Homo-oligomer: A and B are copies of this chain.
Amino acid sequence: MSSPFRITATDGGARAGVLETAHGPVETPVFMPVGTKASVKAMLPSELRDLGARIVLANAYHLYFRPGAELIHELGGVARFSGWDGPVLTDSGGFQVFSLLHTATRIDDEGVRFRSVYDGSRHHFTPEVAMRVQRLLRSDIAMAFDECPPAGVDRARVEAAVRRTGLWAARSRAQPRAEGQLGFGIVQGGIDLDLRRRSAEEIVGVGFDGYAVGGLSVGEEREPMLETLEATTELLPADRARYLMGVGDPEGLIEGIARGVDMFDCVLPTRLGRTGSALVPGGRINLRNAAYATDGRPLVDGCACPACTGFSRAYIRHLITQSEISGLRLLTVHNLHHLLDLAARARAAIAAGRFADLRAEVAGSAESKHHESVAKASRLPDS
Protein backbone atom coordinates (compact mmCIF):
# COMPACT_ATOMS: atom_id res chain seq x y z
CA MET A 1 0.00 0.00 0.00
CA SER A 2 1.60 3.25 -1.11
CA SER A 3 1.47 6.17 1.29
CA PRO A 4 -0.35 9.40 0.45
CA PHE A 5 2.14 11.14 2.72
CA ARG A 6 5.76 11.97 2.06
CA ILE A 7 8.26 13.62 4.35
CA THR A 8 10.10 16.59 2.90
CA ALA A 9 12.25 17.52 5.90
CA THR A 10 12.93 16.42 9.46
CA ASP A 11 14.39 18.30 12.40
CA GLY A 12 14.83 16.19 15.53
CA GLY A 13 11.50 14.46 16.06
CA ALA A 14 9.65 17.06 13.98
CA ARG A 15 8.71 16.35 10.38
CA ALA A 16 7.54 18.49 7.48
CA GLY A 17 5.70 16.77 4.69
CA VAL A 18 2.92 16.70 2.13
CA LEU A 19 -0.33 14.74 2.37
CA GLU A 20 -1.98 14.11 -0.99
CA THR A 21 -5.78 14.23 -0.96
CA ALA A 22 -8.53 14.13 -3.57
CA HIS A 23 -8.79 17.93 -3.23
CA GLY A 24 -5.05 18.53 -3.56
CA PRO A 25 -1.91 18.43 -1.43
CA VAL A 26 -1.74 19.58 2.19
CA GLU A 27 1.59 20.72 3.61
CA THR A 28 2.27 19.54 7.13
CA PRO A 29 2.49 20.23 10.03
CA VAL A 30 -1.00 21.60 9.54
CA PHE A 31 -3.64 23.13 11.77
CA MET A 32 -7.17 22.21 10.67
CA PRO A 33 -9.97 24.65 11.63
CA VAL A 34 -13.05 22.87 12.95
CA GLY A 35 -16.26 23.18 10.95
CA THR A 36 -18.44 20.87 13.03
CA LYS A 37 -21.64 21.48 11.09
CA ALA A 38 -19.94 22.13 7.72
CA SER A 39 -19.17 25.71 8.73
CA VAL A 40 -16.15 26.99 10.64
CA LYS A 41 -18.12 29.11 13.06
CA ALA A 42 -18.48 32.76 11.95
CA MET A 43 -16.14 32.23 8.97
CA LEU A 44 -16.68 31.94 5.24
CA PRO A 45 -14.51 29.68 3.05
CA SER A 46 -12.87 32.59 1.22
CA GLU A 47 -11.64 33.99 4.53
CA LEU A 48 -10.24 30.62 5.59
CA ARG A 49 -8.32 30.42 2.32
CA ASP A 50 -6.99 33.94 2.77
CA LEU A 51 -5.77 32.98 6.25
CA GLY A 52 -3.85 30.06 4.78
CA ALA A 53 -6.15 27.21 5.89
CA ARG A 54 -5.76 24.24 3.56
CA ILE A 55 -7.94 21.58 5.15
CA VAL A 56 -10.94 21.80 7.47
CA LEU A 57 -12.82 19.38 9.68
CA ALA A 58 -16.48 18.46 9.57
CA ASN A 59 -18.37 16.10 11.82
CA ALA A 60 -20.21 13.01 10.62
CA TYR A 61 -22.37 12.84 13.75
CA HIS A 62 -23.82 16.33 13.40
CA LEU A 63 -24.17 16.23 9.61
CA TYR A 64 -25.86 12.81 9.81
CA PHE A 65 -28.64 14.47 11.81
CA ARG A 66 -28.64 17.95 10.22
CA PRO A 67 -29.02 18.38 7.29
CA GLY A 68 -28.50 14.64 6.61
CA ALA A 69 -25.73 12.77 4.82
CA GLU A 70 -27.89 11.80 1.83
CA LEU A 71 -28.74 15.45 1.14
CA ILE A 72 -25.08 16.47 1.28
CA HIS A 73 -24.27 13.55 -1.02
CA GLU A 74 -26.89 14.74 -3.53
CA LEU A 75 -25.49 18.27 -3.38
CA GLY A 76 -21.97 17.12 -4.26
CA GLY A 77 -20.38 16.21 -0.92
CA VAL A 78 -19.44 18.25 2.11
CA ALA A 79 -16.81 20.39 0.34
CA ARG A 80 -19.06 21.51 -2.49
CA PHE A 81 -22.07 21.82 -0.15
CA SER A 82 -20.16 24.21 2.10
CA GLY A 83 -18.44 26.19 -0.66
CA TRP A 84 -14.99 25.01 0.42
CA ASP A 85 -12.84 23.95 -2.52
CA GLY A 86 -10.15 22.19 -0.47
CA PRO A 87 -9.83 18.94 1.46
CA VAL A 88 -12.16 18.04 4.33
CA LEU A 89 -11.49 15.55 7.12
CA THR A 90 -14.57 14.06 8.75
CA ASP A 91 -14.61 12.82 12.29
CA SER A 92 -16.44 9.50 12.49
CA GLY A 93 -18.87 10.54 15.17
CA GLY A 94 -17.31 8.29 17.78
CA PHE A 95 -16.16 11.17 19.95
CA GLN A 96 -19.58 12.84 19.85
CA VAL A 97 -21.46 9.63 20.60
CA PHE A 98 -19.41 9.20 23.75
CA SER A 99 -18.99 12.80 24.83
CA LEU A 100 -22.35 14.45 24.16
CA LEU A 101 -25.03 13.92 26.74
CA HIS A 102 -27.14 11.06 25.55
CA THR A 103 -29.94 9.26 27.20
CA ALA A 104 -30.03 5.46 27.03
CA THR A 105 -26.56 5.08 25.56
CA ARG A 106 -25.67 1.39 25.31
CA ILE A 107 -22.35 0.18 24.01
CA ASP A 108 -21.65 -3.35 22.84
CA ASP A 109 -19.32 -4.83 20.28
CA GLU A 110 -21.80 -4.15 17.52
CA GLY A 111 -21.86 -0.41 18.13
CA VAL A 112 -23.57 2.30 20.18
CA ARG A 113 -27.27 2.86 20.72
CA PHE A 114 -28.22 6.38 21.78
CA ARG A 115 -30.80 9.09 21.41
CA SER A 116 -30.13 12.06 19.14
CA VAL A 117 -29.28 15.33 20.88
CA TYR A 118 -31.43 17.02 18.21
CA ASP A 119 -34.79 15.35 18.70
CA GLY A 120 -34.38 12.40 21.05
CA SER A 121 -34.88 9.85 18.28
CA ARG A 122 -33.18 6.45 18.65
CA HIS A 123 -30.08 5.67 16.63
CA HIS A 124 -27.53 2.90 16.34
CA PHE A 125 -24.03 3.91 15.27
CA THR A 126 -21.72 1.13 14.15
CA PRO A 127 -18.44 1.19 12.23
CA GLU A 128 -20.47 0.38 9.13
CA VAL A 129 -22.86 3.30 9.69
CA ALA A 130 -20.03 5.75 10.47
CA MET A 131 -18.15 4.82 7.32
CA ARG A 132 -21.29 4.94 5.18
CA VAL A 133 -22.07 8.44 6.46
CA GLN A 134 -18.54 9.61 5.67
CA ARG A 135 -18.73 7.96 2.24
CA LEU A 136 -21.92 9.90 1.55
CA LEU A 137 -20.28 13.11 2.81
CA ARG A 138 -17.43 12.46 0.32
CA SER A 139 -14.80 13.80 2.65
CA ASP A 140 -11.13 13.51 1.70
CA ILE A 141 -10.21 11.73 4.92
CA ALA A 142 -12.60 9.40 6.75
CA MET A 143 -11.84 8.49 10.35
CA ALA A 144 -12.41 4.99 11.72
CA PHE A 145 -15.20 4.55 14.29
CA ASP A 146 -13.63 4.29 17.75
CA GLU A 147 -14.52 4.27 21.42
CA CYS A 148 -13.14 7.28 23.23
CA PRO A 149 -13.58 7.11 27.03
CA PRO A 150 -13.19 10.23 29.17
CA ALA A 151 -10.06 10.84 31.26
CA GLY A 152 -9.97 9.35 34.74
CA VAL A 153 -11.96 6.17 34.15
CA ASP A 154 -10.53 2.87 35.47
CA ARG A 155 -8.16 0.70 33.51
CA ALA A 156 -10.77 -1.95 32.74
CA ARG A 157 -12.91 0.65 30.98
CA VAL A 158 -9.94 1.91 28.95
CA GLU A 159 -8.95 -1.66 28.10
CA ALA A 160 -12.47 -2.42 26.90
CA ALA A 161 -12.37 0.70 24.73
CA VAL A 162 -9.03 -0.36 23.26
CA ARG A 163 -10.40 -3.81 22.45
CA ARG A 164 -13.51 -2.42 20.75
CA THR A 165 -11.55 0.27 18.94
CA GLY A 166 -9.45 -2.54 17.46
CA LEU A 167 -12.48 -4.56 16.38
CA TRP A 168 -14.15 -1.47 14.97
CA ALA A 169 -10.99 -0.38 13.14
CA ALA A 170 -10.93 -3.62 11.17
CA ARG A 171 -14.65 -3.30 10.35
CA SER A 172 -14.24 0.40 9.47
CA ARG A 173 -11.36 -0.41 7.15
CA ALA A 174 -13.37 -3.14 5.41
CA GLN A 175 -16.06 -0.68 4.35
CA PRO A 176 -16.05 0.92 0.91
CA ARG A 177 -14.95 4.54 0.75
CA ALA A 178 -15.79 7.40 -1.59
CA GLU A 179 -13.55 7.81 -4.62
CA GLY A 180 -10.13 9.04 -3.54
CA GLN A 181 -11.17 9.06 0.13
CA LEU A 182 -8.37 8.20 2.57
CA GLY A 183 -9.04 6.19 5.71
CA PHE A 184 -7.31 6.99 8.99
CA GLY A 185 -7.19 4.70 12.03
CA ILE A 186 -7.36 5.92 15.62
CA VAL A 187 -5.19 4.70 18.49
CA GLN A 188 -6.79 4.77 21.96
CA GLY A 189 -5.55 3.70 25.39
CA GLY A 190 -5.82 6.73 27.66
CA ILE A 191 -2.53 7.54 29.35
CA ASP A 192 -1.70 3.87 29.95
CA LEU A 193 1.42 3.14 27.94
CA ASP A 194 0.78 -0.62 27.79
CA LEU A 195 -2.71 -0.07 26.42
CA ARG A 196 -1.44 2.53 23.97
CA ARG A 197 1.11 -0.01 22.73
CA ARG A 198 -1.54 -2.69 22.37
CA SER A 199 -3.88 -0.29 20.54
CA ALA A 200 -1.16 1.00 18.24
CA GLU A 201 -0.14 -2.54 17.27
CA GLU A 202 -3.73 -3.48 16.52
CA ILE A 203 -4.54 -0.38 14.52
CA VAL A 204 -1.29 -0.40 12.57
CA GLY A 205 -1.90 -4.11 12.00
CA VAL A 206 -5.18 -3.28 10.24
CA GLY A 207 -3.32 -0.88 8.00
CA PHE A 208 -4.58 2.66 7.30
CA ASP A 209 -3.58 5.61 5.11
CA GLY A 210 -2.75 7.62 8.22
CA TYR A 211 -2.98 7.32 11.98
CA ALA A 212 -4.62 9.44 14.63
CA VAL A 213 -3.89 9.58 18.32
CA GLY A 214 -7.29 9.89 19.99
CA GLY A 215 -8.30 10.30 23.59
CA LEU A 216 -5.66 12.87 24.51
CA SER A 217 -7.96 15.91 24.55
CA VAL A 218 -10.48 14.60 27.04
CA GLY A 219 -9.30 16.23 30.22
CA GLU A 220 -5.93 14.73 31.18
CA GLU A 221 -3.02 16.82 32.43
CA ARG A 222 -0.49 18.15 29.97
CA GLU A 223 2.61 16.22 31.08
CA PRO A 224 1.16 12.67 31.02
CA MET A 225 -0.56 13.63 27.76
CA LEU A 226 2.74 14.55 26.13
CA GLU A 227 4.50 11.45 27.51
CA THR A 228 1.73 9.26 26.15
CA LEU A 229 1.84 11.06 22.82
CA GLU A 230 5.59 10.57 22.51
CA ALA A 231 5.37 6.88 23.34
CA THR A 232 2.53 6.45 20.85
CA THR A 233 3.97 8.26 17.83
CA GLU A 234 7.10 6.09 18.13
CA LEU A 235 4.89 3.07 17.48
CA LEU A 236 3.36 4.51 14.31
CA PRO A 237 4.88 3.96 10.86
CA ALA A 238 7.12 6.89 9.95
CA ASP A 239 5.81 7.02 6.39
CA ARG A 240 2.20 7.78 7.35
CA ALA A 241 0.69 11.06 8.47
CA ARG A 242 0.01 11.35 12.21
CA TYR A 243 -2.92 13.30 13.55
CA LEU A 244 -3.32 14.38 17.19
CA MET A 245 -7.08 14.73 17.61
CA GLY A 246 -8.58 17.72 19.37
CA VAL A 247 -5.31 19.36 20.41
CA GLY A 248 -4.31 22.68 18.90
CA ASP A 249 -3.51 25.29 21.52
CA PRO A 250 -0.20 26.96 20.58
CA GLU A 251 1.98 25.00 23.03
CA GLY A 252 0.16 21.74 22.33
CA LEU A 253 0.71 22.26 18.61
CA ILE A 254 4.43 22.91 18.97
CA GLU A 255 5.00 20.11 21.49
CA GLY A 256 3.02 17.74 19.30
CA ILE A 257 5.13 18.65 16.28
CA ALA A 258 8.26 18.05 18.37
CA ARG A 259 6.94 14.50 18.95
CA GLY A 260 6.38 13.79 15.28
CA VAL A 261 2.74 14.84 14.82
CA ASP A 262 1.72 16.21 11.42
CA MET A 263 -1.94 17.21 11.81
CA PHE A 264 -3.91 19.03 14.50
CA ASP A 265 -7.43 20.28 15.03
CA CYS A 266 -8.89 22.28 17.86
CA VAL A 267 -11.96 24.39 18.59
CA LEU A 268 -9.86 26.75 20.69
CA PRO A 269 -9.45 29.64 18.21
CA THR A 270 -13.10 29.74 17.15
CA ARG A 271 -14.48 29.12 20.64
CA LEU A 272 -12.24 31.74 22.25
CA GLY A 273 -13.26 34.19 19.54
CA ARG A 274 -16.94 33.73 20.23
CA THR A 275 -16.43 34.21 23.95
CA GLY A 276 -14.47 37.45 23.56
CA SER A 277 -10.85 36.32 23.91
CA ALA A 278 -7.80 36.70 21.70
CA LEU A 279 -4.74 34.47 21.57
CA VAL A 280 -1.57 36.47 22.23
CA PRO A 281 2.03 35.28 22.65
CA GLY A 282 2.11 33.38 25.91
CA GLY A 283 -1.60 33.17 26.53
CA ARG A 284 -4.74 35.10 25.80
CA ILE A 285 -6.54 38.30 26.67
CA ASN A 286 -10.24 38.77 27.35
CA LEU A 287 -11.50 41.82 25.48
CA ARG A 288 -14.31 42.30 28.00
CA ASN A 289 -11.68 43.51 30.44
CA ALA A 290 -12.21 47.23 31.05
CA ALA A 291 -8.47 47.81 30.59
CA TYR A 292 -8.96 47.56 26.83
CA ALA A 293 -11.74 50.16 26.62
CA THR A 294 -9.35 52.94 25.61
CA ASP A 295 -6.58 50.77 24.13
CA GLY A 296 -5.84 51.96 20.61
CA ARG A 297 -3.30 49.20 19.91
CA PRO A 298 -4.02 46.09 17.81
CA LEU A 299 -4.70 42.75 19.55
CA VAL A 300 -1.05 41.78 18.93
CA ASP A 301 1.59 44.28 17.83
CA GLY A 302 3.06 43.23 14.50
CA CYS A 303 0.39 40.58 13.79
CA ALA A 304 -0.42 40.53 10.07
CA CYS A 305 -4.02 39.29 10.40
CA PRO A 306 -6.96 41.34 9.06
CA ALA A 307 -8.14 42.10 12.61
CA CYS A 308 -4.80 43.45 13.81
CA THR A 309 -4.06 45.44 10.67
CA GLY A 310 -7.40 47.25 10.69
CA PHE A 311 -8.86 47.50 14.18
CA SER A 312 -7.96 48.47 17.73
CA ARG A 313 -8.54 46.59 20.97
CA ALA A 314 -10.86 49.45 21.98
CA TYR A 315 -13.05 48.95 18.90
CA ILE A 316 -13.14 45.15 19.24
CA ARG A 317 -13.96 45.50 22.93
CA HIS A 318 -16.79 47.90 22.02
CA LEU A 319 -18.17 45.36 19.53
CA ILE A 320 -17.88 42.44 21.97
CA THR A 321 -19.52 44.29 24.86
CA GLN A 322 -22.33 45.43 22.53
CA SER A 323 -22.85 41.87 21.21
CA GLU A 324 -22.00 42.95 17.69
CA ILE A 325 -21.28 39.93 15.47
CA SER A 326 -18.33 41.73 13.88
CA GLY A 327 -16.53 41.56 17.24
CA LEU A 328 -16.49 37.80 17.47
CA ARG A 329 -15.69 37.66 13.77
CA LEU A 330 -12.55 39.75 14.25
CA LEU A 331 -11.45 37.67 17.25
CA THR A 332 -12.09 34.41 15.38
CA VAL A 333 -10.08 35.65 12.40
CA HIS A 334 -7.20 36.66 14.65
CA ASN A 335 -7.20 33.41 16.62
CA LEU A 336 -7.32 31.22 13.53
CA HIS A 337 -4.50 33.26 12.03
CA HIS A 338 -2.51 32.71 15.22
CA LEU A 339 -2.67 28.90 14.88
CA LEU A 340 -2.41 28.74 11.08
CA ASP A 341 0.55 31.09 11.12
CA LEU A 342 2.23 29.10 13.89
CA ALA A 343 1.88 25.90 11.84
CA ALA A 344 3.30 27.70 8.79
CA ARG A 345 6.22 28.95 10.86
CA ALA A 346 6.79 25.39 12.09
CA ARG A 347 6.92 24.10 8.52
CA ALA A 348 9.46 26.76 7.58
CA ALA A 349 11.49 26.17 10.75
CA ILE A 350 11.67 22.41 10.17
CA ALA A 351 12.76 22.93 6.57
CA ALA A 352 15.46 25.33 7.80
CA GLY A 353 16.58 23.07 10.66
CA ARG A 354 15.55 25.69 13.22
CA PHE A 355 12.53 24.10 14.85
CA ALA A 356 14.24 24.15 18.28
CA ASP A 357 14.33 27.96 18.12
CA LEU A 358 10.60 28.18 17.44
CA ARG A 359 9.86 25.66 20.17
CA ALA A 360 11.92 27.67 22.66
CA GLU A 361 10.21 30.88 21.59
CA VAL A 362 6.73 29.45 22.16
CA ALA A 363 7.72 27.84 25.47
CA GLY A 364 9.46 31.04 26.58
CA SER A 365 6.52 33.30 25.88
CA ALA A 366 4.10 30.97 27.57
CA GLU A 367 3.02 32.13 31.01
CA SER A 368 2.05 29.17 33.13
CA LYS A 369 -1.10 30.80 34.44
CA HIS A 370 -2.41 31.12 30.93
CA HIS A 371 -1.57 27.60 29.90
CA GLU A 372 -4.01 25.92 32.13
CA SER A 373 -6.99 27.90 30.98
CA VAL A 374 -6.07 27.73 27.31
CA ALA A 375 -5.55 23.97 27.50
CA LYS A 376 -8.87 23.55 29.29
CA ALA A 377 -10.81 25.57 26.74
CA SER A 378 -9.42 23.38 23.98
CA ARG A 379 -10.96 20.23 25.35
CA LEU A 380 -14.60 20.80 24.59
CA PRO A 381 -16.59 19.89 21.49
CA ASP A 382 -17.44 22.85 19.28
CA SER A 383 -21.20 22.76 19.52
Chain A interface (Cβ < 8 Å from any Cβ of B): 37-46, 66-67, 71, 74-75, 81-83, 293-294, 296, 306, 310-312, 314-315, 317-319, 321-322, 324-330
Looking at the complex, which one of B37, B67, B330 makes contact with A44 (CB distance below 8 Å)?
B330
21 contacts between A and B (CB under 8 A): A37-B318, A37-B319, A38-B318, A39-B319, A39-B322, A39-B324, A39-B326, A42-B326, A42-B329, A44-B306, A44-B329, A46-B306, A66-B321, A67-B293, A67-B314, A71-B293, A74-B296, A75-B312, A81-B314, A82-B315, A325-B325
Task: Tell me the smallest distance from the CB of A230 to a CB of chain B, in Å.
Answer: 37
Return chain B residues, CB-CB under 8 Å to A74.
294, 296
Closest to A309 in B: B83
Contact, CB under 8 Å: A66 / B322: yes
Given A44-B326, A67-B318, A294-B74: A83 in contact with B39 (beta carbons within 8 A) = no
Contact, CB under 8 Å: B39 / A75: no
In the bound complex, CA of A306 to CA of B45 (Å):
11
Task: Tell me the smallest distance from the CB of A285 to a CB of chain B, in Å.
Answer: 18
Return chain B residues, CB-CB under 8 Å to A318.
37-38, 66-67
Contact, CB under 8 Å: B41 / A325: yes
Contact, CB under 8 Å: A71 / B294: yes
Given A67-B318, A311-B83, A318-B67: A42 in contact with B325 (beta carbons within 8 A) = yes
In the bound complex, CA of A317 to CA of B72 (Å):
13
Oligomeric state, in number of copies?
Answer: 2
In the bound complex, CA of A170 to CA of B166 (Å):
83
Task: Tell me the smallest distance from the CB of A18 to a CB of chain B, in Å.
Answer: 27
In the bound complex, CA of A319 to CA of B293 (Å):
33
Return chain B residues, CB-CB under 8 Å to A330.
44
Task: Tell me the smallest distance from the CB of A71 to a CB of chain B, in Å.
Answer: 6
Return chain B residues, CB-CB under 8 Å to A312.
75, 81
Given A37-B322, A71-B293: A81 in contact with B315 (beta carbons within 8 A) = yes
Task: Tell me the smallest distance from the CB of A88 to a CB of chain B, in Å.
Answer: 14
Closest to A325 in B: B42
Looking at the complex, which one of B37, B71, B81 makes contact with A324 (CB distance below 8 Å)?
B37
Contact, CB under 8 Å: B67 / A326: no
In the bound complex, CA of A81 to CA of B74 (Å):
46
Closest to A85 in B: B310
Return chain B residues, CB-CB under 8 Å to A83.
310-311, 315
Given A66-B321, A83-B310, A83-B315: A43 in contact with B326 (beta carbons within 8 A) = yes
Return chain B residues, CB-CB under 8 Å to A45.
310
In the bound complex, CA of A46 to CA of B44 (Å):
14
In the bound complex, CA of A132 to CA of B259 (Å):
61
Query: A37-B324, A325-B325 given. 17 additional CB < 8 A pairs?
Result: A39-B322, A39-B327, A42-B329, A44-B306, A44-B329, A66-B318, A66-B321, A66-B322, A67-B293, A71-B294, A74-B294, A75-B296, A75-B315, A81-B312, A83-B310, A83-B315, A325-B329
Given A66-B321, A67-B293, A75-B296: A41 in contact with B314 (beta carbons within 8 A) = no
In the bound complex, CA of A71 to CA of B310 (Å):
18
Closest to A295 in B: B75
Closest to A317 in B: B67
Task: Tell me the smallest distance from the CB of A331 to a CB of chain B, in Å.
Answer: 12
Return chain B residues, CB-CB under 8 Å to A314.
67, 71, 75, 81
Report which residue of A37, A39, A311 has the largest number of chain B beta carbons within 10 angstroms of its beta carbon.
A39
